């Protein structure tokens, strides 16, 4: 539902109307999608990051399953294909493979890490596990400075993360780069537009990786860079008008970035034909309902319905501790509340959702896309079928940072656009164990202190997401002369460009001290504060 502001994240069986690949009389619509790059996902933690880096070249990019057929790729007609990394060994039984006919399509292919290995194996090379494994930074010697390595120095830092590597290349390949322990760090085919590299150009630890991807996407693949958000907004607004006509649209509003941008697009397209519903599930941040109503009233002059449903949600969550079950019950309760309120809105025909690209990927909701489900998203599926509405998902092709830029393009204020993400299930997934009214109040107060102190320090925009987590443990403490046995709170603050990978924020010690002191002194029932210093991966940003 559009009230989920996710962190964090592809391919659409039929791309949304705002970015359809069907040619029409609308020139903007054609130019947005006439050029695209496909990323074949072999299970890499960086697959979404590759797609984001391609988008930075103003080229539309989709993530598809690794076993997509050459025939299907020909139908999608991409300008180029990128094979992602992955955790498997290509020579193991059951390891993900590629349709070798892809190399006969005369479409440029770039293999990265596992993608290099699977391409080499398909084209006559060999891959082996070697004792000289590389994990981390390495100095790479570039032998061939043409095509994808144009502009690179003779020696540059790259990021390696592999145990296997290509041990033998076919005669049709030429070496382009090497490291001290990897003689085939990058190669190219002599007659086909096939390139491969063992290192990861998509991560920031490869300082000039963006130049490599630029060379592949813009030079080798011949993309012109026509994917621009200002054109996307115009096309989305026009398509919404065509789809909706004079009918009414319902939009779930939470006050976060995703739903606010959806509402802004809809309002620009259809004005007073928009009705918004805010479901207060009792797990919002401090003063959240008031803030949402004030923001909504300031920017949209349309119909707003507020549903107070705290008692229902808490009743449904009683005794539940398992994270996925929490999400499932919250999603179901949300549908019930939304359905009841939607029934009161006359002539409603469409439902708008703030589904983002990572939602589609992580939920396994697309035929062409990867199938692994990381977590349940009540953005994806369920509600339209329950209500019998026709679905509108204007942000379904966008990553989080693109949504923010689109919000600014639509004129939303910076304090709203740059607000830290908040999960759809709300504080329930930050209240570990069973969710109760009392525990939520403790967490809500602690969370407000964390955000307030980070704002006071002038670091809110420099951090990407900050919040408190109420742990399911109690610890011994001393307050005054008395022994206490109270709750522990973890503080989580991360920095990230894309929410697909993240590092913990190195907040100043005096700031952490103020946060800890205030929480322990002001929040009754807490006697210990911890700071989470784990990165994503291996941890996720949210605790549940």
Q: Which residues are catalytic?
A: 113, 200, 202
The reply to whether 237 sits in an annotated binding site is no
Note the residue count of the chain: 544
Report yes or no: 530 and 519 within 8 Å, Cβ to Cβ.
no
Q: Give Cα separations from 112 to 132, 153, 162, 191 (angstroms).
A: 19, 20, 11, 19
426 labelled ligand-binding: no
Give me 37's structure tokens. Answer: 């790059």
| Residue 14 annotated in ligand binding | no
Q: Answer yes or no: is 258 a known binding residue.
A: yes
Q: How buried is residue 428: exposed, middle or buried, by Cβ count under 10 Å (0-12/13-18/19+)?
A: buried
**Burial class (CB within 10 angstroms; exposed 0-12, middle 13-18, buried 19+) of 453:** buried
| Residue 365: strand, helix, or coil | coil
Residue with structure tokens 């390949």? 173
**Which residues lie below 8 Å from residue 188, measured CB to CB, with a gap of 6+?**
144, 147, 148, 173, 174, 176, 194, 195, 196
Burial of 112 (0-12, 13-18, 19+ CB in 10 A): buried
Peptide bond into 239 cis (omega under 30): no
Q: Are 480 and 384 in contact (CB under 8 A)?
A: no
Does residue 127 contact residue 167 with C-beta atoms inside 8 Å?
yes
Residue 170, classed as helix, strand or coil, is coil
256 is in an annotated binding site: yes
Neighbours of 488 (CB within 10 A): 17
Spatial contact of 148 and 212, defined as CB atoms under 8 Å apart: yes
Q: Where are the beta strands (DSSP E) in 384-431?
A: 390-392
Count CA within 13 A, CB hemisphere, residue 537: 6
**What are the Cα distances from residue 157, in Å, to 13, 147, 210?**
39, 19, 13
396 SS3 class: coil
Angstrom distance (rounded) from CA 36 to CA 11 = 11
Annotated binding site: 254-260
As annotated, the binding site for ATP includes 254-260
């Amino acid at each position: 539902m559009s009230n989920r502001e996710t962190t964090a994240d592809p391919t659409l069986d039929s791309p949304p109307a705002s970015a359809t690949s069907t040619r029409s009389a609308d020139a903007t619509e054609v130019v947005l999608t006439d050029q695209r790059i496909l990323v074949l996902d072999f299970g890499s933690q960086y697959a979404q990051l590759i797609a984001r880096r391609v988008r930075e070249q103003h080229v539309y990019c989709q993530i598809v399953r690794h076993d997509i057929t050459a025939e299907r790729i020909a139908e999608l007609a991409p300008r180029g294909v990128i094979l992602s990394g992955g955790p498997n060994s290509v020579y193991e039984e059951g390891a993900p493979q590629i349709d070798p006919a892809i190399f006969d399509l005369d479409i440029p292919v770039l293999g990265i890490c596992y993608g290099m290995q699977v391409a080499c194996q398909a084209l006559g090379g060999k891959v082996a596990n070697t004792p000289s494994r590389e994990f981390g930074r390495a100095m790479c010697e570039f032998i061939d400075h043409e095509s994808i390595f144009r502009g690179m120095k003779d020696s540059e830092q790259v990021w390696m993360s592999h145990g296997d590597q290509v041990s033998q290349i076919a005669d049709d390949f030429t070496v382009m780069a090497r490291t001290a322990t990897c003689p085939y760090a990058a190669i190219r085919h002599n007659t086909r537009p096939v390139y491969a590299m063992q290192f990861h150009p998509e991560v920031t630890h490869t300082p000039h990786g963006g130049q490599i991807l630029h060379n592949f996407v813009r030079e080798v693949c011949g993309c012109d860079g026509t994917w621009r958000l200002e054109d996307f907004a115009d096309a989305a607004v026009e398509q919404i008008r065509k789809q909706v006509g004079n009918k009414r649209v319902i939009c779930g509003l939470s006050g976060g970035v995703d739903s606010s941008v959806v509402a802004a697009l809809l309002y620009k397209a259809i004005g007073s034909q928009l009705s918004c519903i805010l479901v207060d599930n009792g797990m919002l941040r401090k003063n959240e309902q008031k803030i949402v109503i004030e923001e909504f009233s300031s920017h949209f002059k349309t119909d707003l319905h507020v549903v107070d449903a705290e008692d229902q949600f808490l009743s449904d969550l009683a005794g539940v501790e398992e994270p996925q079950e929490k999400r499932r019950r919250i999603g179901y309760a949300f549908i019930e509340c939304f359905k009841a309120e939607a029934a009161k809105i006359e002539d409603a025909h469409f439902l708008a959702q703030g589904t983002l690209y990572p939602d589609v990927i992580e939920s396994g909701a697309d035929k062409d896309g990867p199938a692994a489900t990381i977590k349940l998203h009540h953005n994806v599926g369920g509600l339209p079928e329950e209500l019998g509405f026709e679905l509108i998902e204007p942000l379904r092709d966008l990553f989080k940072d693109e949504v923010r830029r689109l919000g600014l393009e639509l004129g939303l204020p910076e304090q709203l656009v740059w607000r830290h993400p908040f999960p759809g299930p709300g504080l329930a997934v930050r209240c570990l164990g069973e969710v109760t009214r009392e525990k939520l109040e403790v967490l809500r107060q602690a969370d407000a202190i964390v955000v307030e102190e980070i704002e006071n320090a002038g670091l809110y925009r420099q951090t990407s997401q900050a919040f408190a987590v109420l742990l399911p443990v109690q610890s011994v403490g001393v307050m005054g002369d008395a022994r206490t046995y109270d709750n522990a709170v973890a503080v989580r603050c991360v920095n990230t460009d894309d929410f697909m990978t993240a590092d913990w924020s190195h907040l100043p010690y005096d700031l952490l001290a103020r946060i800890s002191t205030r929480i322990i002194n002001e929040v009754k029932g807490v006697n210990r504060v911890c700071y989470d210093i784990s990165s994503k991966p291996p941890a996720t940003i949210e605790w549940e």
